[in-house]
Amino acid sequence: MTRSHFLPFAILIHCGVMNLLPVLAIGGLIIVLLALAWLGFVRRPWRGARTRYPVVLVHGVLGFKEIGTGKLRRDYFRGVPERLDELGIPYYCPVLPPTSSVARRAEVLAEYLCQLPPGKVNLIAHSMGGLDARYAIDRLRCRHKVASLVTVGTPHWGTRIADLGANALGDRKLLNRVLDLVGVGLEALADLTTDRMEDFNRNITKPKGVFCASVLASVTDEKAKIHPLLVWSRSYIERSQGPNDGLVPEDSQRFGRVLFAIEADHWAEIGWSQAYDAPGLYERILRELRRRGK
């Protein structure tokens, strides 16, 4: 076959390659972008924690947004706001009356939620804050604002420590009057007793249309680090109510779906201990919420 016979084939091959070049270029670009995205995800795994809705952090009894001044300023959820900033997740930190009743604290929370921008939020509540959130959702018409409620260390069925405190202070009328005069009430303590929480759960049920979950915390290892002020109370609760976080029995913390159980005391749950990674805990919660489209 002469050289002239190969020319048409050469032209066809050349044209085919030229036509394929844009396709190959685009395909190569897609592969490079996918590779970069994969590497970016591996290096920044927290990207999987970005939630659909903003987060509202609800503090417990004696809670606050932050205390201290200057460099000594500390958040109630210690280290958690910084982690949320890193994740790029909008968040809010309402301040509730520290020692008021669940009903009063829930009123303040409901007012706060109604003033937020339109759209739903994810509530993550610690301790008594979980009860305030449940009351606000069920009784104060906040259900339309809430996509999810996750409680951490919340005494949904009360705690014997509150029983002990209420019994010890119940007959001290003078003490109660003095506390009322300085603006510090004992309503919160009374609301956390086991009897009061039985009534609470008869009247306040799990809200429909809201994803409800809980994180259970306890210190089961005798050698585990626990705050010195919680050593006695942990032992006291364990004798009557089983494993606990130093203030709240583990069984009392169950509400909705149990996301996971952790080894931490009541204050370590919010970052007030170097023995536990609290920001990591809240990131895990956010990952679960994202996985459920929240």
Q: Which of 161-165, 238-242, 251-255, 269-273 has the lowest mean pLDDT?
A: 161-165
Which superfamily is assigned to 53-291 in CATH?
Alpha/Beta hydrolase fold, catalytic domain (3.40.50.1820)
Measured at the CA of 200, the angle between CA 176 and CA 202, to 5 degrees, comes to 150
Q: What is the pLDDT of residues 149-160, one digit of tens each?
A: 999 999 999 999
Please say whether the beta carbons of 221 and 242 come within 8 A. no
What pTM was estimated for this model as a whole? 0.79
End-to-end CA distance of the chain: 70
Distance CA 84, CA 101 (A): 29
Q: What is the pLDDT of residues 28-74, one digit of tens each?
A: 555 655 555 444 444 344 456 788 999 999 999 876 555 544 455 57
Q: What residues contact 108, with CB distance under 8 A and at least 6 apart?
A: 94, 96, 97
